[in-house]
């Protein structure tokens, strides 16, 4: 999809913000799953962007934003697994009085 330079840069910035700000705001596995859905959707949109007037630096940032978002997806998957792992039972002490 061919877009203006402004829209191209705004979309790249949006993906960076999702990867570097929104990710850290997630609390709990459910929020992370919702974040993953949104980021996957935005990655698809950003991947499809084309801009005939984009400078080489813009194209480089485009690639870096996609790479950063994919790395965050991997981290999110690990974080979700850790949060869903059942906590080990704490040992209980029994007091015996004779």
Model confidence over 9-55: pLDDT tens digits? 999 999 999 999 999 999 999 999 999 999 999 999 999 999 999 99
pTM above 0.75, yes or no: yes
* Phi, psi of 41, rounded to the nearest 5 degrees: -65, -45
How many other β-carbons are positioned within 10 Å of the β-carbon of residue 35? Answer: 20
Tokens of 36: 């993953």
Contacts of 8 (CB under 8 A, 6+ apart): 49, 51, 54, 58, 62
Confidence bin at 69 (pLDDT 50/70/90) = very high
């Amino acid at each position: 999809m061919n877009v203006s330079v402004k829209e191209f840069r705004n979309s790249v910035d949006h993906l960076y913000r999702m990867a570097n700000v929104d990710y850290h705001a997630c609390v709990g596995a459910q929020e992370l799953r919702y974040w993953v859905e949104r980021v996957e959707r935005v990655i698809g949109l950003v991947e499809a962007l084309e801009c005939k007037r984009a400078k080489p630096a813009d194209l480089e940032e485009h690639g870096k934003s996609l790479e950063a978002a994919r790395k965050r997806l991997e981290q999110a998957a690990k974080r979700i697994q850790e949060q869903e792992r059942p906590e080990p039972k704490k040992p209980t002490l029994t007091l015996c009085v004779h």
